[in-house]
Each structure stands twice: as structure tokens, then as C-alpha cells.
Amino acid sequence: MRRLVQGLQKTKERLLGPLRGILERGSFDEEAVEDLEALLLSADLGVDATEQIIERLRERFTKGMERGPLDMLGEELLAIIDAVPMPDPPAGRPHVIVVIGVNGVGKTSTIGKLAHRFKQRGDTVLLAACDTFRAAAIEQLERWAERAGVPVVRQGMGADAAAVAFDAVQSARARNVDTVIIDTAGRLHTKTNLMAELEKIFRVLRARAPDAGLEAWLVLDANTGQNSIRQAEAFVESLPVTGLVLTKLDSTAKGGVVIPIQQKLGVPVRYVGIGEGLADLEPFDHESFISALIH
Ligand SMILES: Nc1nc2c(ncn2[C@@H]2O[C@H](COP(=O)(O)OP(=O)(O)OP(=O)(O)O)[C@@H](O)[C@H]2O)c(=O)[nH]1
Ligand SMILES: [Mg+2]
């Protein structure tokens, strides 16, 4: 919780002082509405979430204030985040999480951090090096695996990503491993289309490992703000994305983007990245997040 508060420092600095100034004027007049609108948009909450919040606050201010204005804002933010349902984990075994996203968003680091977390809670974990295109990508994953103390299944550079993924799932079965986390390329240096390559991983695993509990988690860089929503849509349309990970919250004042991202995509944020270390990944707990933002 303290780490999350630190991680959100930049967003909070941008939001909190001005928020207090606006909401604690006591009246929610047109000027206050405009100021609040501008502020929420600048924190990357997006037009829809901003409008919804303003409308709700307007109603609640008119009815009389049953709580402090910041608490009311917190409740409205929470209502938007809570509206996105959390799917049950897939029933099959091993649990296979294919981690996807454009280049540089933090996929490989997130995988290292997830492996560390899962291992700490007692799960056995295996990583699959399916970014077979970028030089040094495999070694980078191996370094994270070493730090987390989990094995990696790899082949050579240029190997077929889907074949490596299947290999990893087979190996996980043989070793009775709970969770396989698959690293993928963010951009291909060949003419192969990234989406086609990722689709192939799913096609092959569905056909050849139908008993696995397969899902895709999409990694997004919070610094990309509103633009990450469009970027995400392309992935969500083509692949079974059941979770989001929002990275680099520590290095942005655009942390508010977590709210419209869920709202627009209808996919829950599972974890947030708050630094470059092994332990710098936190489950996205709705109440702690809002509380870290407005207190
Ligand atoms: N500050 C901060 N940096 C992060 C976080 N997550 C990842 N990074 C940094 O972002 C950079 C890219 O991370 P990678 O994990 O290599 O990203 P990737 O998506 O695997 O990149 P490609 O394999 O090139 O597609 C690295 O310098 C990471 O240390 C985070 O939560 N906070
Ligand atoms: Mg990578």
C-alpha cells in the first residue's frame, strides 16, 4: 500500500492540490465544474468518465453533501472501476498467461515480477521465451527468470514462437508446473504481422493443448495515456484479452488513465507496475488505488 502511494506520487501531485481547491470551495457552481472537468481530463480520465463523474457530483452536491467532496469523488471513481467484472481464472491446467503488448511497454519486466509474486504465494512457475525476434530478448527474460528463481523454456533466435509456447506447456505438464507465463515480441523484424504471430500462438495452443487454461494479458504503458486505449483495442479485437497490466505508473502523472482504460475496454486491470525492481508490481486493488490517489 505504501509502495502504491509512492508509485502514484506524480499523478497525485498533479491532481490532489487543485482538487482540494476546487471541491472545497463549498459550492459546485459552473466555474467549479469547468475547473474540475479540465483537471480530470488533464489526469487522463477521458471524456466519458469525466462527464459521468461531473454529472454524479452535480446531483450529489444539489441534494446536499452527505460526505466530504473528495470522498464523494472517490466513490464515483470507485463505481466506475468496480463496474468492470473480474473473470474467474480459466479452469484448465497449467494456467497459461500469454503476455502481449507493443514494444517497450514492459512485458518482459512484468513477467519477471509476476513470476516472483506467483512463486512467493507458493505456485510453481515456468517462463517461455517466445520473443524470438529481438536480439537479446531471450537473455533478458533469462535474467528475470534467474532473479525470480524460475525456469525458462527457450529455443534459438528466429524460432517459431508458437512452437516454443507449445514446448513450454508440454514441459510444464511434465514437471507439474502451475503457471506458464509466455513472453512475446512487441514488434517483429520480419514481414510477419505481430497480430498474426500472436494469433498463431493461441491457435496452436488451443489445438494441441486444449486442457490448458489459456488467457492473454495485455501490458500498457501508463505514460501513453489516452492513446493506449486505441492501441489496446487492436489487441482486444483479435485476442482473448482477459486482463490488463498498467506499467510505469511511477513515472507518469497520467495514472488516471487506469479508469477509462477499464471502462472503454471492459477488461479489468490485474496489476500495476510501479518501478523497475522485482517487487515493483502491485495487484490492482480498487479501494487502495483510489485512496492512494485522493488522500
Ligand atoms: N519506471 C518503471 N519502468 C518500468 C516499469 N516496467 C517496465 N519498465 C521499464 O521499461 C523498459 C522496457 O521494459 P521491457 O520489460 O523490456 O519491455 P518489453 O515490453 O518487454 O519490451 P520489448 O521486448 O522491446 O517489446 C525497461 O527499461 C524497464 O525497466 C515500471 O513499472 N516502472
Ligand atoms: Mg520484452
pLDDT at position 254, please? 86
For residue 281, give the ligand 1 atom closest to its CA. 31
Quote the ligand 1 centre to 108 CA distance (angstroms): 7
pLDDT at position 38, please? 93
Q: Are 246 and 127 in contact (CB under 8 A)?
A: no
Quote the ligand 1 centre to 66 CA distance (angstroms): 43
pTM of the predicted model as reported, rounded to 2 decimal places: 0.94
The protein residue whose alpha carbon is closest to atom 9 in ligand 1 is 106
For residue 103, give the ligand 1 atom closest to its CA. 25
The protein residue whose alpha carbon is closest to atom 30 in ligand 1 is 248
| Grid coordinates given for 163 | 512452437
* Ligand 1 contact via 132 beta carbon (within 6 Å): no
Q: Which residues does the chain have with pLDDT short of 70?
A: 1, 189, 191
Q: Are 60 and 66 in contact (CB under 8 A)?
A: yes
- Name the DSSP class of 88: P
Give the pairing of strands 269-273 and 281-283: antiparallel
* Ligand 1 contact via 247 beta carbon (within 6 Å): yes
Quote the ligand 2 centre to 135 CA distance (angstroms): 10
pLDDT at position 26, please? 72
* Ligand 1 contact via 223 beta carbon (within 6 Å): no
pLDDT at position 1, please? 63
Quote the ligand 1 centre to 248 CA distance (angstroms): 8
Reduced 3-state DSSP string for 40-65: HHHCCCCHHHHHHHHHHHHHHHHHCC
Instruction: Please write the tens of the pLDDT for every residue from 12-47.
Output: 888 888 888 888 887 788 898 999 999 999 888 999
User: Interior CA angle at 162 toward 98 and 130, to 5°?
Assistant: 60
